[in-house]
Amino acid sequence: MSRRVIHPWPLRLTHWLNALAMVIMIGSGWQIYNASPLFGFTFPIGLGQWLGAGIAWHLAGMWLLVFNGLIYVIWSLASGHYKKLFPIRPREVWGDFRSALSLHLKHETGVYNAVQKLLYAGVLLAGVLAVLSGLSIWKPVQLWFLCNLFGGYVIARYVHFFAMTGICLFILIHLLLVALVPKVLPPMITGGRLP
């Protein structure tokens, strides 16, 4: 592995596998939601056409999501990649956020700006919350200690929903930013080269 690559292959692999897992989990999650909506609306689309298929996809997809996530975390810790996400300083976030709004934020290849750092750390947290609350509503009896951490089954189901909402918001912003700066996309596929 060249030192000059922008995105090392483990990052690219887990990134795209996670994208697939997210499509499955969000799509089937919406299908499940529609069978008994928590709020006064349903989702126009869902994966699997009926509740049984939605659940089957959800509980199959969770293995991809969790194993891929674990590989990412282990790789990130072992390689030191996580250091690119930290520290996150509020002052820098604010500064970068303002220059991003005025379209003056420079994209430095291979370096995350403070807003990016906050977004990435935030979505990782939402992912962890989605998994832990998901396990709580899947196994409220056997994993009662986990379920109790969330304040019980009923609250865990809301946490699960809002974790999904957070992830969806991230995806929206993420895709929007890639659309604004499209040159960042090829390196996520090929690895790219640092200048």
Partner 1 sequence: MIHRRSLLLRAMALGAAAPLGGCNYEDPAHPDLADKFLHAMSAWNDRVQAALFDPHTLAPTFRPDQITNPPRFNAFYPIDQAPVVDEATYKLELGGQIQNKTPWSLRQLRTLPQESQITRFVCVEGWRVIGQWSGVPLGRFLRQVGADTSCKYVSFKCADGYYSSIDMASALHPQTILALDFLGAPLTAPFGAPVRLRIPTKLGFKNPKSIMQLAVTNVYPGGYWEDQGYNWFSGS
Binding site for ligand HEM (CB under 6 A): 22, 25-26, 29-30, 32-33, 38, 58, 62, 65-66, 130-131, 134-135, 137-138, 157, 160-161, 164, 167
DSSP state, 83?
G
Rounded-to-integer distance, Cα 44 and Cα 165, Å: 15
Is 185:99 a contact under the CB 8 Å cutoff? no
Rounded-to-integer distance, Cα 143 and Cα 146, Å: 5
Per CB under 8 A, which region of 1-9, 37-45, 65-73, 107-115 contacts partner 1? 37-45
Beta carbon nearer to ligand HEM, 25 or 119: 25
Chosen residue from 141, 176, 179, 195 binding partner 1 by CB under 8 A: 141
Vertex 67 angle, CA 163 and 149, to 5°: 40
DSSP 42-78: --S--SSSSHHHHHHHHHHHHHHHHHHHHHHHHHHHH
135 interface partner picked from ligand HEM, partner 1, none, CB below 5 to 8 A per type: ligand HEM
87 interface partner picked from partner 1, ligand HEM, none, CB below 5 to 8 A per type: none
Chosen residue from 4, 9, 16, 60 binding partner 1 by CB under 8 A: 60
Is 65:18 a contact under the CB 8 Å cutoff? yes
The residue ranges that bind partner 1 (CB under 8 A) are 27, 31-36, 38, 42, 44-53, 55-57, 59-60, 63, 139-144, 152-154, 157
